[in-house]
Amino acid sequence: MAQEYSRRRFLGAAAAWPVMAGVVHAAPPAASLRPVLRGEDFFKRAVRSVDEILREAKLSGDVSFAVADAATGLRLEQRTAGVAQPPASVAKALTALYALDALGPTHRFETRLMTTGGIVDGVVQGDLILAGGGDPTLDTDRLAGMAAQLKALGVTGVKGAFKVFDKALPRLDRIDPEQPDQVGYNPGVSGLALNYNRVHFEWKRGGNGYAVTMDGRSERLRPAVRFAAMRVVDRQSPIYTYADGEGRDNWTVARPALGNGGARWLPVRKPGLYAAEVFAVLAGAEGIALGVPGFVDTLPEADAIVTDRSRDLRTIAREMLKWSTNLTAEMLGLAATRARGVEVDTLKASAAQMNAWAQTALGMEAPALVDHSGLGDDSLLSTADMVTALVQVRDTGLRDILKPIAMRDENRRVIQDHPIRVDAKTGTLNFVSTLAGYLTGPDGTEMAFAIFTADPAIRATITRAEREGPAGGRTWNRRSKRLQQALIERWGVLYGA
């Protein structure tokens, strides 16, 4: 097991500086046979070297890092900092900055119910349109609130058609095509999202096989859906298959993998249809019958009669960084690009706009992201560039929306009163572990840092089917996190104590 600093060891090393300095400088002899160590030199010898930390971590692959004084930008220490590596979800910190700059921290996304004709005797004379405005946080409970507001207006039916507008953002069936079909963190994207574009799949063994349900559940509601269908089949592997049917997400699952029962979230590939179907169920519960939804690519002239507003963008960004939601990152990034007046149809094209912005606004040299979440394998970023950005935005309040990172002892227990404070964004892919943000040393010195670790050789051997949980991945990740903490504690002692 890699050696780690406990709080006692940390404080002991930090305390050694002034004490030892006093001994060294007290009444030196008139002559010395060897140079006398100054206090700072002696103190630094109590701190583990980078080579020792790397050796004890026993981590395969590549390690790069950079740390700088956050106030001045002075580089304090770095290792292969100019070499670009996959940033994983650390990319979301740049996406948050990009969106906040383009849209503003108080921006709220709107989801609207619109009509192309008035309401006469409770009946909408034209079409009823569910219009998405790019809100990544819309859920079933809020959609139910919209249905209740529609009823409160006296609406009992629609003379025209029920239509859906989801083109405020591009329609994409998934974020990264290289991920396994069934992972919930890789859903489709559009301007209308629901429940982070995940559908709840639940199964229970019965006397005649398995009872299967698919629904758009929330804390209060369980509306069943038809657009996503699951079929249990007799096979050993693969566990899941997906096929794009006409107007349906068609899934199969291997019977031997199910056991007696269970549940999981599956990704939605048709998010606009998902939201429309759930809304129709919720409206029906209010006594408002809606037909099969049709889609419009442009909004016709219509009046908004019900509007749901999201929380402010700063709050959404904070939660995205805390929970690392890929869909939120992609929708915020796409919305920011469009707010800058650039129309794009792919995540890569939008990420290219963000890369260019990062160079101009943040002083980064060569950001090369292919999406806004860091999920794509081809995204590359250097720790030098990441630290440059963190120093540049030090006074913008980014640190306030980053996640506090707990320091841990040798048994991985949280140290409640550790003298180093860390706020950062984590990132994890298979055999990739990253961390970037700010640390404050015991003396109040604030530093910006980035640590990227990756083993591309192992990653190259992982098949698409194995990506949900490759052998050895968790052990490698734990070693990387120990390495990250050891480096942070080194910097806290060396430059902030």
- The CATH number that domain 109-310 falls under is 3.50.80.20
Residue 33 has pLDDT above 60, yes or no: no
- Sign of the torsion formed by the C-alpha atoms of 227, 228, 233 and 239: positive
pLDDT of residue 3: 36
Start-end ranges of CATH 3.50.80.20 in the chain? 109-310
Per-residue confidence band for 163, with pLDDT thresholds at 50, 70 and 90:
very high
pLDDT of residue 447: 98
Per-residue confidence band for 45, with pLDDT thresholds at 50, 70 and 90:
low
Residue 27 has pLDDT above 50, yes or no: no
- Which of 46, 108, 92, 4 lies closest to 403, judged by CA? 92
**Among 6-15, 330-339, 470-479, whose mean pLDDT is lowest?**
6-15
Residue 443 has pLDDT above 90, yes or no: yes
Mean pLDDT of 464-469: 88
Mean pLDDT of 205-231: 95
Q: Greater confidence, 57 or 43?
A: 57
Per-residue confidence band for 26, with pLDDT thresholds at 50, 70 and 90:
very low
Residue 328 has pLDDT above 60, yes or no: yes
Paired with 198 in beta bridges are 267
HSE-CB at 423 with a 13 A cutoff on CA atoms is: 14
The three-class DSSP label of residue 212 is: strand
**Among 131-140, 301-310, 460-469, whose mean pLDDT is lowest?**
460-469
**Among 248-257, 346-355, 457-466, whose mean pLDDT is lowest?**
457-466
Terminal CA-to-CA distance of the chain, rounded, Å? 27
Per-residue confidence band for 67, with pLDDT thresholds at 50, 70 and 90:
very high
Rounded distance, CA 283 to CA 150, Å? 8
Mean pLDDT of 29-39: 40
Mean pLDDT of 252-272: 97
- The DSSP secondary structure of 31-53, one letter per residue, reads S-SSPPPPHHHHHHTTSPPHHHH
**pLDDT digit string, tens, across residues 391-400:** 999 999 999 9
Per-residue confidence band for 4, with pLDDT thresholds at 50, 70 and 90:
very low
Residue 289 has pLDDT above 90, yes or no: yes
Q: Are 204 and 261 contacting, i.e. CB atoms less than 8 angstroms apart? A: yes
Residue 293 has pLDDT above 50, yes or no: yes
Strands (E), 61-127: 62-69, 75-79, 110-115, 119-120, 123-124
Name the average pLDDT for the chain: 91
* CA 139 to mean position of chain CA atoms: 18
For 178, list phi and psi in degrees, rounded to 5.
-85, -5
**pLDDT digit string, tens, across residues 374-413:** 999 999 999 999 999 999 999 999 999 999 999 998 888 9
Residue 246 has pLDDT above 90, yes or no: no
**Among 39-43, 230-234, 361-365, whose mean pLDDT is lowest?**
39-43
pLDDT of residue 409: 86
pLDDT of residue 44: 53
Q: How many residues can be counted in the chain?
A: 497
Strands (E), 303-431: 303-309, 403-404, 421-429
**pLDDT digit string, tens, across residues 181-194:** 999 999 999 999 99
Q: Are 310 and 328 contacting, i.e. CB atoms less than 8 angstroms apart? A: no
- Which of 160, 163, 164, 162 lies closest to 120, judged by CA? 160
